[in-house]
């Protein structure tokens, strides 16, 4: 074991010695490497292929590789540094660099210090580049563009060609621009640089001028100092030692192998046509797509427009479509006489209710189809709502209207009869004849309004058929609308007054009562008579407002007279529309007399004969209720309407107001008298009272008295008068008796 241990120790010592030796050798070797000086070489990097940056950002190029080879021979480690100065002359003054290159010859530094240069490394050919096929004159007279960084070379050039004018540019692009604009005749640079730069696609129009070539040296420059001298000397030795073949290999390496590297702008230039066409194609695609979208949108809009302009049920125009078509036609045919008609089926609601909606729709479609059969391209038809058809038709006189009557209206009227259902369709039409002015100022709605006014007159007349519009109707309609709108203000401002028309007993001469009749002193239109505003208010559904006001005023007067010890009674008018299921009219009157402390028999309530004929059940019920409360109910205007004698049997009432004007007006007066005498007898026999109104002459009064009717009201006795006059009259008569 001991022997083995000793052997092991010897081996370890041996190894240690070996390792120490190796270490020492390494130290010596290290000392040798440290002794190699590092040479800092300042170079420009924008001169491919002479000096440029490789992919990793290291400095390379013909000049760089040659300098490496030379430095190797001269025993230098070389380190290249990119110069930041604009010119090589300025770089010479920067102490960071030991040497600067390339120089053609020794030139003073920018600060004016003397410099020295090495032996020539390479004879670099300089070439002029010109634009297109331009011919250059003598090189000595040229204006030449050079890069600013070639300032050193420029000085050499100046020495060589004193007549040459040199203009400096910051970049290759700037200099090329100057060449293209004719600012300079040619550009001057190292041929190796040109061989690289002219590969740029955008410089395809530039060409080398081979006849004007000259060579310049490619040397290393240093300051004229001892150190500079030492470096240049060592480098000269290196230059001497580097074989020419090696230098040529370097040149070849960078000119044949290193191809021009395309940057983004080069690709843009290279593929410019492709890009332009591609762009145009893309733009065309965008335009086509946009146009297609637009067309589709227009088509869509057109579809929507058609939906709006067409009536889906009958296929004729809608109101909107009709308006447009009429405008077009009137504009296109300014001299054609036209008429517009507004047509309405009078009993359409009944048809729908009794025969069903589908039957109603069939009728509308049939009407549309029949109308279209007779119409031309220059006519138009539209359905504007429910059963309302509007038609624009070329005017053709009575003959054409008769033909339409036979071809369209008669078949429509007999639509259900022909199907065996036995109902005649009633059509009301209003016709408006267009004036030349309507062709100038085309207002379709206005024309339809006119036709509608005429249609309404037919409808109101309880007949069917057609009527022509007349302008007075229109004016009346406008005035009515104005009156209606003004009612609330009129009530508030007391424009409406209650007048009284006395009722007298012809035998005794006493005033037995009065009828309350309203008068309207309109702030703008002056005095208005009930015949004008009552029907308008009835139609607008506002008559109840007016009547409530009148009844209230009457009750106030009755109260006032009662307080004066004068127990009077007044007849008030009840409009047809005042009586409805919802309105408890009898309750309303009862509340009124309670409010003013009156007796029910002081109020006589006049209901017109027409109201009885229209809604007999409702009127009967209301009449009974009123009478139960103790009010006296009177049938107004008896004899003026379509009174049914059986009504007298069915509806109980207290007094009949015989309208003497209707019975004595038109026709044979003798027959009228006979009718009056029998009515009086009949009414008495039925146990009711009778009063004659509209008595204008003494002969009438005498005749009525003879027949047993002593109560009378009429202009012969008194006209309606304001309340104060009525009070004075009463006082005077009472005083006389």
Residues that bind ligand C2E (CB under 6 A): 501, 517-518, 529-531, 534, 543, 547, 550, 573, 575, 606, 636-637, 661, 693-696, 713-715, 720
Smaller CB distance to ligand C2E: residue 168 or 549? 549
Six token digits for residue 553: 């005023």
| Tokens (6 digits) for 699 | 């002969």
Q: Among 75, 64, 74, which Cα is nearest to 247's?
A: 64
Instruction: With CB under 5 A as the rule, give the number of residues binding Mg ion.
Output: 4
The phi and psi torsions of 482 (rounded to 5 degrees) equal -65, -45
Strand partners, 217: 123
Q: How many CB atoms lie within 10 A of CB 327?
A: 13
Candidates 445, 481, 420, 461; CA nearest to 342 is 445
Contact with Mg ion (CB under 5 A) among 455, 606, 634, 711: 606
SS3 at position 99: strand
**Is the preceding peptide bond at 37 cis, omega within 30 degrees of 0?**
no
**Residue whose CB is less far from Mg ion, 85 or 606:** 606
Quick one: which of 350, 353, 342, 425 has its CA closest to 390? Answer: 342
Residue 14 region, left (φ>0) first, then alpha (ψ -120 to 50), else beta?
alpha
Indicate which of ligand C2E, Mg ion, none lies near residue 104 (CB less than 5 to 8 Å, by partner kind): none
Instruction: Give yes or no for a contact between 468 and 431, defined as CB atoms under 8 angstroms apart.
Output: yes
Smallest separation, CB 461 to Mg ion (Å): 22
* Closest to ligand C2E by CB, 174 or 696: 696
Q: With binding defined as CB under 5 A, does residue 455 bind Mg ion?
A: no
Q: What is the DSSP letter of 681?
A: H
* Partner from Mg ion, ligand C2E, none binding residue 217, C-beta < 5-8 Å depending on class: none
Decide whether 65 or 637 has the Cβ nearer to ligand C2E. Answer: 637
Least separation in angstroms between residue 560's CB and ligand C2E is: 19
- Stretches 223-231, 264-272, 605-613, 695-703: which one binds Mg ion (CB under 5 A)? 605-613
Q: CB 514 → Mg ion: shortest distance, Å? A: 11
Closest distance between Mg ion and the C-beta of residue 367, in Å?
A: 42
Distance in Å, CB of 529 to ligand C2E, minimum: 5
* Phi, psi dihedrals of residue 718, rounded to the nearest 5°: -150, 145
Measured distance CA(452)–CA(429) in Å, rounded: 8
User: C-alpha dihedral over 388, 392, 398, 403, to 10 degrees?
Assistant: -70
The contact pattern for Mg ion, residues 554-573, with x = CB under 5 A and - = no contact, is -------------------x
**Of 367, 410, 404, nearest in space to 389 by CA:** 367
Burial of 480 (0-12, 13-18, 19+ CB in 10 A): middle
Query: 3-state DSSP call for residue 405?
Result: helix
Site string for Mg ion, 613-642 (x = CB under 5 A): -----------------------xx-----
358 binds, among Mg ion, ligand C2E, none (CB under 5 to 8 A by kind): none
Q: Cβ closer to ligand C2E: 347 or 497?
A: 497
**Whole-number Cα distances in Å, 355 to 350, 363, 408:** 8, 11, 22
Q: Quick one: what does residue 131 bind among ligand C2E, Mg ion, none, with the CB cut-off 5 to 8 Å set by partner type?
A: none
Taking CB under 5 A as the binding criterion, the range among 31-39, 406-414, 598-606, 648-656 that sits at the site for Mg ion is 598-606
| CA atoms of 707 and 687, how far apart (whole Å) | 16
* CB nearer to ligand C2E: pick between 1 and 531: 531
Q: Could you tell which of ligand C2E, Mg ion, none binds residue 575, using a CB distance below 5 to 8 A set by kind?
A: ligand C2E
Residue placing its CB nearer to ligand C2E in the complex, 182 or 665:
665
Distance CA 564, CA 97 (A): 136
530/616 with CB nearer ligand C2E: 530
By beta-carbon proximity to ligand C2E, the closer residue of 101 and 709 is 709
330, interface contact from ligand C2E, Mg ion, none, CB < 5-8 Å by kind: none
Please give the residue ranges that form the binding site for Mg ion (CB under 5 A).
573, 606, 636-637
């Amino acid at each position: 074991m001991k022997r083995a241990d000793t052997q092991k120790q010897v081996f370890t010592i041996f190894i240690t010695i070996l390792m120490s030796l190796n270490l020492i050798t390494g130290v010596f070797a290290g000392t040798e490497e440290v002794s190699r000086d590092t040479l800092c070489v300042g170079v420009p990097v924008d001169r491919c292929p002479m000096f440029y940056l490789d992919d990793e950002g290291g400095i390379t190029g013909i000049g760089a590789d040659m300098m490496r080879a030379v430095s190797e021979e001269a025993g230098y480690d070389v380190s290249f540094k990119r110069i930041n100065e604009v010119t090589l002359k300025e770089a010479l003054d920067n102490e960071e660099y030991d040497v600067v290159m390339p120089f053609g010859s020794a030139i003073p530094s920018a600060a004016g210090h003397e410099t020295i240069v090495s032996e020539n490394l390479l004879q670099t050919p300089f070439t002029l580049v010109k634009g297109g096929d331009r011919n250059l004159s003598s090189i000595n007279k040229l204006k030449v563009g050079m890069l600013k960084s070639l300032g050193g070379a420029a000085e050499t050039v100046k020495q060589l060609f004193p007549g040459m004018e040199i203009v400096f540019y910051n970049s290759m692009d700037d200099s090329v621009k100057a060449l293209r604009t004719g600012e300079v005749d040619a550009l001057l640079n190292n041929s190796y640089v040109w061989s690289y730069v002219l590969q740029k696609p955008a410089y395809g129009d530039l060409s080398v001028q081979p006849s004007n070539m000259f060579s310049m040296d490619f040397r290393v420059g240093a300051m004229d100092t001892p150190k500079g001298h030492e470096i240049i000397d060592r480098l000269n030795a290196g230059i001497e030692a580097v074989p020419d073949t090696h230098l040529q290999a370097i040149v070849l390496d960078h000119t044949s192998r290193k191809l021009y590297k395309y940057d983004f702008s080069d690709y843009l230039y290279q593929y410019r046509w492709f890009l332009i066409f591609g762009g145009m194609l893309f733009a065309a695609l965008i335009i086509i797509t946009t146009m297609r979208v637009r067309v589709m949108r227009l088509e869509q809009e057109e579809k929507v427009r058609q939906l709006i302009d067409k009536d889906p049920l009958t296929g004729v125009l809608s109101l909107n479509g009709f308006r447009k078509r009429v405008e077009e036609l009137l504009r296109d045919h300014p001299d054609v006489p036209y008429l517009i008609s507004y047509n309405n089926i009078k009993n359409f609601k009944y048809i729908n209710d009794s025969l069903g909606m589908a039957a109603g729709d069939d009728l509308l479609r049939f009407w549309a189809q029949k109308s279209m059969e007779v119409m031309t391209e220059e006519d138009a038809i539209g359905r504007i709502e429910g059963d309302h058809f509007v038609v624009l038709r070329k005017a053709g006189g009575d003959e054409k209207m008769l033909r339409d009557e036979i071809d369209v209206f008669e078949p429509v009227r007999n639509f259900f009869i022909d199907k065996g259902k036995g109902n005649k369709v009633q059509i009301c039409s209003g016709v408006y004849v267009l004036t030349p002015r309507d062709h100038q100022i085309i207002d379709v709605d206005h024309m339809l309004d006119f036709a509608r006014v005429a249609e309404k007159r037919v409808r109101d007349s309880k007949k069917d058929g057609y009527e022509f519009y007349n302008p007075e109707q229109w004016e009346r309609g406008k005035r009515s609308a104005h009156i209606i709108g003004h009612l609330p203000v009129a009530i508030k401002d007391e424009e409406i007054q209650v007048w009284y028309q006395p009722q007298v007993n012809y035998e005794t001469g006493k005033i037995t009562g009065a009828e309350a009749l309203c008068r309207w002193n309109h702030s703008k239109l002056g005095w208005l008579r009930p015949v004008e505003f009552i029907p308008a208010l009835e139609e607008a559904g506002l008559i109840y407002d007016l009547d409530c006001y009148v009844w209230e005023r009457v009750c106030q007067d009755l109260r006032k007279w009662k307080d004066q010890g004068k127990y009077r009674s007044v007849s008030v008018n009840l409009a047809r529309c005042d009586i409805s299921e919802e309105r408890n009219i009898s309750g309303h009157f009862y509340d009124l007399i309670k409010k003013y402390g009156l007796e029910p028999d002081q109020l006589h309530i006049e209901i017109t004969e027409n109201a009885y004929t229209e809604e007999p059940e409702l009127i009967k019920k209301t009449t009974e209720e009123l009478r139960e409360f103790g009010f006296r109910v009177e049938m107004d205007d008896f004899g003026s309407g379509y009174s049914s004698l059986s009504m007298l049997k069915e509806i109980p009432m207290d007094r009949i107001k015989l309208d003497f004007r209707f019975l004595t007006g038109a026709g044979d007066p003798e027959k009228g008298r006979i009718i009056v005498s029998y009515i009086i007898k009949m009414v008495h026999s039925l146990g009711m009272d009778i009063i004659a109104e509209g008595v204008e002459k003494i002969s009438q009064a005498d005749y009525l008295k003879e027949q047993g009717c002593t109560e009378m009201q009429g202009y012969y006795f008194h006209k309606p008068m304001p309340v104060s006059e009525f009070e004075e009259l009463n006082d005077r008569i009472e005083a006389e008796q």
